[in-house]
Amino acid sequence: MADVAVQHLDLSEPVMVQPVEGSDRPASVYLAPTLDGLYAPYALRTPADEGSFPFVFLAYGNGGGGIPWLQRRLRTHGYIMQRLLQSGYACAWARYRTEVELGYHNGGPLVVDRRQGMELMNRGPLEFEDELAILRHVAAHPQVDAERLGHVGVSHAGEMLFKLASRYPGAVRAGVACEPANHEFLSLAIDESAFVDPSTGLRNIEEMQMQDPERVRARIDERLALERIAPIDLPILVMGRDDDHLQGIFRVSYDLLAAAGKQATWVSWDHPLHGYIYPEAGPDGTPQVDDIQERAIDGILEFLDSHLD
C-alpha cells in the first residue's frame, strides 16, 4: 500500500473560500469544533480585509444540510449579509445539527465529566449548543470583536436564541428573534390540531393555530417559562408577523421577557413571507425586497447598532 501524506487541518483557516456574486467580499467557510468533537460549518464574511468588526450570527429554521446548505444560502439569501456588511458588521450563515424532539425540554443542562481520560456527557449536545461552539470559534477570528457578538434567528432559530441565552448567559451581547417558534421553550401543550405520527412516534405540530396570545398563555407552563427566562441577560428584539398562525407564541415570548424585567422590544410587520427579514433572490439573482422588508431590516440594524456599538 502506497504511503499517504497526512495533512494537518488548521481550524483557524477556512476549508474553502467562495466568491459571492455581485460582491467583492467572499465567504470563508470554517469548521467549528462542536462540544462533542465533531464539526459545524459556518460561512463568514467581513466588511474589509483589515480591521476588527462586531459580528452577527445568522440562523434560519431547523438544522442539517451542512456546507451545501451554506453555499445555497449565500446564493439565494445574500441580501441580509450585504446590508450587514455595509453597516460595518462581520456576519455568517451557520449550520448546526437537526433539532431533537423535546431534547431541550427533557434533556436538562449539558453536564460534562471524564471517563478513561476522555469526556463523558449526560446527553448529546443540541442544535443551540452548536451555535455556542460556532460563536466561540468565530470569537477567536482576528477580524471579529469577541466582545460584540450578536444573533439573528428566524422561526426555530428564534427559539434557539432563547435557549442559548437561557442556558449560556453571555454567549452573545444582543439578539433578534424573528417569528420565534417557542413551543418547546414555553412548554406549550399541544391542541387538537396536533397529533403523534404513528410511523415515527414524533409529534406533528405544523397546523397548530396559536394566533391569540391569551390562548397561548393558557396552554403554557408559565412558571417553567419564567424560570427559563430568568438567566437571560441580553437585550432581545422579538419580531412578529401579523397574520402568522403562531403570532400568539411570538407575542407571549415578548410579554414574558417584559414581565421578567428583561430588555425586550416588540415589533410586528404585515408581510406574506415567513422569514421576511431574509429576502430571497429572484431567478436572475436580484434580491426581491419590498418596502416592509427594508423597514424591518432597518429596525434590526438600529437595534444592533444600539447594543453592539
Reported as a pLDDT band with limits 50, 70 and 90, residue 6 is low
Distance CA 100, CA 62 (A): 10
252, 217 in Cβ contact below 8 A?
Answer: yes
Give the SS3 label for residue 115: strand
Cβ atoms of 210 and 245 within 8 Å: the answer is: yes
pLDDT tens digits, residue range 206-243?
889 999 999 999 999 999 999 999 999 999 999 999 99
Specify the long-range contacts of residues 279-288, CB closer than 8 Å, at least 24 apart.
279/77, 279/79, 279/80, 280/76, 280/77, 281/75, 281/76, 281/77, 281/78, 281/79, 285/21, 285/22, 285/75, 287/78, 287/79
Question: What is the distance of C-alpha 251 from the center of its chain?
Answer: 18
Residue 48: Cβ within 10 Å count: 11
Predicted confidence at residue 221, as pLDDT, reads: 98
List pLDDT tens digits, range 134-156: 999 999 999 999 999 999 999 99
Rounded mean pLDDT, 126-135? 98
Please report the pLDDT score of residue 1 as a whole number.
47
Q: Identify which of 35, 83, 37 has the alpha carbon closest to the alpha carbon of residue 58.
A: 83
The full set of domains in the chain, from first to last, is 16-307 (3.40.50.1820)
Q: What is the mean pLDDT of residues 197-209?
A: 88
H or E element at residue 175: strand 174-178
pLDDT digits (tens, 9 = 90+) for 236-278: 999 999 999 999 999 999 999 999 999 999 999 999 999 999 9
171-183 pLDDT per residue, tens? 999 999 999 999 9
pTM (two decimals): 0.95
- Grid cell, residue 214, equals 391569551
What's the grid cell of residue 188? Answer: 406549550
Q: Is the pLDDT of residue 188 over 50?
A: yes
Confidence band for 127, pLDDT divided at 50, 70 and 90: very high
Q: How far apart are CA 259 and CA 244, in angstroms?
A: 23
Q: What is the mean pLDDT of residues 196-202?
A: 88
